[in-house]
Amino acid sequence: MNFTYIILIPLIPLVSFLLLGIFNKKIKPGISGYIGVAGLSTSAALSFYTAYTYFFTIGKVDGVYQTFVEKITWMNFTDTLAIDMGILIDPISVMMLVVVSTISLMVHIYSRGYMKGDDGYTRFFAFLGLFSFSMFGLVLATNLFQIYIFWELVGVSSFLLIGYYYTKSSAVAAAKKAFIVTRFADLGFLIGILIIGYYTGTYDFETLNNPEGSTILNWASSSFMGLSIITWALILIFMGGAGKSAMFPLHIWLPDAMEGPTPVSALIHAATMVVAGVYLVARLFPMYYFVEDGFALNIVAYVGAFSSLFAAIIAITQTDIKRVLAFSTMSQLGYMMLALGVSGYDGHEGVGYMASMFHLFTHAMFKALLFLGAGSVIHAVHSNYLKDMGSLRKYMPITNITFLVAALAISGVFPLSGFWSKDEILVAAFEHNKLIYFVGIFVAGLTAFYMFRLYFGIFWGKNTTYKHTPHESPISMTFPLMILAFISIFSGFIPFSELITPDKAGFEAHLNIPLAIVATIIGLIGIGLAYIFYKKENDLADRFSNAFGIFYKWTFNKFYFDEIYLFVTKKIIFNRIAGPIARFDKKVVDGTMEGIGNKTVVISKKIKGIQSGKVQDYALSFIAGAVVLALVFIYLWTN
């Protein structure tokens, strides 16, 4: 089967990016919107076609899904070590293709309404194109270096899109923060790659992931500080993933990233880019699983679990709706990581892996939906803050319904997509690690609670009086909402366990009824609480928060993590390191050079007296010179 045409999927957005980027001023906004949408829909069509052919036309060959690779050498290091560029087709990449292209297309369509009249309209679509290109490239990467390359590219496009309103200094700051934090994480990623490259002699996923491959079998060959060097590499690589996927403690950039336009948040910071970290771990799953009995994988699990809890708690107290969603995203990503962390490899063992991918898929859909909904709300009320909202259901019904669907989905209410994926995750957790399971279940409750806090806060709650009455968004914005809502409802019935498993063989998934019931109940409790607190305008919430007092305050300030980072960067890096170095450079290093020069001049001033102008002194020195030479060379320095 020939998959070369897949190369078009990334290339088309790239072309549209170059087109819109270079002829930025020449192209009329309307046109550029169409160009973007057209390009993306082509890519999307191709992706769907690919998915169809891959899963159903070709299907399994002797029980497993095949992996197709097409690549060319991009740069040689040694005759063995090289960077390839190419496409790798296997279940998860195909799945990701679908996710990315769907969301991206939706966002493109949505943006045509949302960004209307913005003077950077064309630029916006250009950046979207760039992002889509990079994301596709990342998904299709055949080796670590390629994935790193596109990893950086999505990073920069995220930077550009967060900083889209570049005249707003807050946006610029957020963009900088996002880029630098992820960059710092990528440092780990890069070093990990270097280690892998050196010790395994390849960057190729196929070779690395082969359970019978040398990499996985000889992981113990070299060790460093008690751990296998490969484990170190995996941990470092996970650091990169954690950076992109906003895992604790590298999460701080994500909330600020909400400075970007809402469609961007939907696309990049909810659905696609942020899951790159999860995807990376999934990509290297065999290594994580087999090397040193999954030591690194456990780290993944715990980090994921903690992040999801941490984020969920914070999400409860935030008042900026986009930030609530941001923390929710972080929490859900933690969920996925957690699922990966508790997954096994063969057959039904791999349920965690499957669940994680499943949740990635469903979450992408309903989280994008949530963001786009929030976007349309913001579009209507021109504010991000709950206090400016309330009882919007009257004004914007479609948004209301779709948002509700998404909220229910994420809260894991039967039979929406979220229910299925979340359930699988909990199953996996339950089977492997009770602690993590309890965390998960607790987080599920929290999720339901803050989601509906949000929902009620926006669409019900107090009767806000608006300056100019908000109205439903144009069709270009509501259409994607409906599509996504549709998917969020039904995508739960996709038989993921058949399609995507670590061993690519698939297995028969069956619903674990007791766990499902528990989960649902917890979810409903959360919703119920939210209903009590926020359905009608009342002061329960405030009393609660006052009751929690200091804890509330801490949560509200996101446990002061930004402040800590600020301290580190400003106080330590800038003032304690860079400052002294700059001064050292001026005073000491430069000073020495200066000193040499100045000394010379000073000496020359000091000794000018020798040239006294007295002919007799000259004579004296003349004779003295002669005599001294004579004495020296007759008596002392004789040879």
Partner 1 sequence: MDILSLFVIVPVLTIIALLFTKGLKQARLVSMVGSIFQLGMAINLVIAYFKERAINDSIMVFTKDFVWFEQFNIHYSIGVDGISVALIVLTTIVVLAGVFISWKMADLPKEFFISLLVLSTGVYGFFISIDLFTMFLFYEIAVIPMYLLIGIWGSGPKEYSAMKLTLMLMGASAVLMVGIFGIYFNSNADGGALTFNILEIAQVNIPFEAQKLFFPLTFIGFAVLGALFPFHTWSPDGHASAPTAVSMLHAGVLMKLGGYGVFRVAMFLLPEGTIHWSWFFIILAAIGVVYGAFGAIKQTDLKYINAYASVSHLGLVLFALLTLNKIAWNGAILQSLSHGLLTAMFFALIGMVYGRTHTRDIHKLGGLMKIVPFIGAIYVITGMAYLGLPGFSGFVAEMNIFVGAFQNPDMFQRVLTVLAVSSIVVTAVYILRLVGKIMMGPLVNEDFKNLPKVTWYEKTGILLLLIPIVGMGVAPLWLSDMIMASLDPFIKGVL
Partner 2 sequence: MIAGISIYEILTVTSILFFIGVYGFITRKNLISILMSIELILNASVINFVVINKYLYPDLLQGVFFSIFIIAVAAAETALAVAIIINLYRQIASVEVKDTETMKY
Partner 3 sequence: MNFSNFLLMRHEILLLTITLLLLIGEIFINKNKKSSLVHLAIFLFGIHTAIGFFAIDECSIFGGSFQTNNLIHLFKNVLNIGVFTLLLQSADWIQEKIVNQNRGTEFFILLFTSLLGMYFMISAGDFLMFYIGLELSTLPVAALASYETLKRKSSEAGIKLILSAALASGVSLFGISLLYATSGSIFFHNIIEVITSTNLTILGFILFFAGLSFKISLVPFHFWTADVYEGAPISVASYLSVISKGAAAFILMVLMFTIFKPLIHTWENIVYIVALATMFIGNLFALRQQNMKRFLAFSSIAQAGFILLGLITGTQLGTATVVYFILIYIFSNLAAFGVVQAISLKTGKENMDDYNGLYRTNPNLSLVMMLALFSLAGIPPVAGFFGKFFLFTAAASKGYYLLVFLAVVNVTISLYYYLLVVRAMFIRKNDHPIPFFKNKLYMRLGLLITVIGILVLGLYSPLYDYIYELSSIYN
Q: Which residues bind partner 1 (CB under 8 A)?
A: 24, 73-78, 81, 83, 145, 148-150, 152-153, 156, 160, 163, 166-169, 172-173, 175-176, 179-180, 183-184, 187, 190-191, 194-195, 197-198, 573-574, 577-579, 581-582, 585, 589-590, 592-593, 597
Q: 85: helix, coil or strand?
A: strand
Measuring CA to CA, which residue among 302, 296, 247, 249 is closest to residue 276? 247
> Of 61 and 596, which has the nearer Cβ to partner 3?
596
SS (H, E, C) 458-521: HHCCCCCCCCCCCCCCCHHHHHHHHHHHHHHHHHHHCCHHHHCCCCCCCCCCCCCHHHHHHHHH
Euclidean distance between CA atoms 406 and 303, whole angstroms: 26
CB of 615 to partner 2, least distance (A): 6
Range in contact with partner 3 (rule: CB under 8 A) among 50-58, 371-379, 475-483, 626-634: 626-634
Inter-CA distances, 543 with 489, 533, 546, 547, 548, Å: 36, 10, 5, 6, 9
Range in contact with partner 3 (rule: CB under 8 A) among 22-30, 438-446, 568-576, 597-605: 597-605
Euclidean distance between CA atoms 282 and 167, whole angstroms: 38
* Contact between 57 and partner 2 per CB under 8 A: no
Measuring CA to CA, which residue among 435, 461, 373 is closest to residue 409? 373
* Contact between 623 and partner 3 per CB under 8 A: yes
* Contact between 594 and partner 3 per CB under 8 A: no
Please, what is the end-to-end C-alpha distance for the chain in angstroms?
92
Q: Which of 608, 634, 635, 638 binds partner 2 (CB under 8 A)?
A: 608
> Of 80 and 611, which has the nearer Cβ to partner 2?
611
Q: Find the Cα–Cα–Cα–Cα dihedral 207, 187, 250, 325, rounded to 10°.
A: -70
* Contact between 623 and partner 2 per CB under 8 A: yes
* Contact between 606 and partner 2 per CB under 8 A: no
- Identify the bridge partners of residue 227 per DSSP, sorted by sequence position: 224
SS (H, E, C) 323-342: HHHHHHHHHHHHHHHHHHHC
Q: Which of 57, 80, 463, 639 binds partner 3 (CB under 8 A)?
A: 639
Euclidean distance between CA atoms 478 and 49, whole angstroms: 26
64-65/68-76 β-pairing: unpaired
Q: Find the Cα–Cα–Cα–Cα dihedral 564, 570, 573, 576, rounded to 10°.
A: -110
Within a 10 A sphere around the Cβ of 434, how many other Cβ atoms?
10
* Contact between 25 and partner 3 per CB under 8 A: no
Q: Is the peptide bond before 249 cis (omega within 30 degrees of 0)?
A: yes
Question: Using CB distances below 5 to 8 A depending on partner kind, what does residue 227 bind out of partner 2, partner 3, partner 1, none?
Answer: none
* Contact between 626 and partner 3 per CB under 8 A: yes
Rg of the chain, C-alpha, whole Å: 31
* Contact between 609 and partner 3 per CB under 8 A: no
Question: Using CB distances below 5 to 8 A depending on partner kind, what does residue 153 bind out of partner 3, partner 1, partner 2, none?
Answer: partner 1
Q: Which of 475, 517, 572, 629 binds partner 3 (CB under 8 A)?
A: 629
Question: Using CB distances below 5 to 8 A depending on partner kind, what does residue 625 bind out of partner 1, partner 3, partner 2, none?
Answer: partner 3
For 410-455, the DSSP string reads HTT-TTSHHHHHHHHHHHHHHHH-HHHHHHHHHHHHHHHHHHHHHH
**Residues 539-578: x where in contact with partner 3 by CB under 8 A, - otherwise, as a string:** ----------------------------------------
Q: Which of 508, 514, 607, 609 binds partner 3 (CB under 8 A)?
A: 607
CB of 634 to partner 3, least distance (A): 5
Question: Using CB distances below 5 to 8 A depending on partner kind, what does residue 609 bind out of partner 2, partner 1, partner 3, none?
Answer: partner 2
Question: Using CB distances below 5 to 8 A depending on partner kind, what does residue 621 bind out of partner 1, partner 3, partner 2, none?
Answer: partner 3
Residue with tokens 């001294």: 628
> Of 467 and 614, which has the nearer Cβ to partner 2?
614
Measuring CA to CA, which residue among 242, 345, 370 is closest to residue 288? 345
Question: Using CB distances below 5 to 8 A depending on partner kind, what does residue 184 bind out of partner 2, partner 3, partner 1, none?
Answer: partner 1
**Residues 324-353: x where in contact with partner 2 by CB under 8 A, - otherwise, as a string:** ------------------------------
Within a 10 A sphere around the Cβ of 11, how many other Cβ atoms?
15
> Of 588 and 628, which has the nearer Cβ to partner 3?
628
Range in contact with partner 3 (rule: CB under 8 A) among 6-14, 128-136, 457-465, 616-624: 616-624
Q: CA 15, 20, 23 angle in degrees (round to 5)?
A: 115
Burial 100-133 (b: 16+ CB within 10 A, else e): bbbbbbbbbbbbbbbbeeeebbbbbbbbbbbbbb
* Contact between 631 and partner 2 per CB under 8 A: no
Task: Kindly list the residues in this chain that would bind partner 2 in the complex (CB under 8 A).
Answer: 608-609, 611-616, 619-620, 623
**Sites of contact with partner 3 (CB under 8 A):** 597, 600-601, 603-605, 607-608, 610-611, 613, 615, 617-619, 621-626, 629-630, 633-634, 637, 639
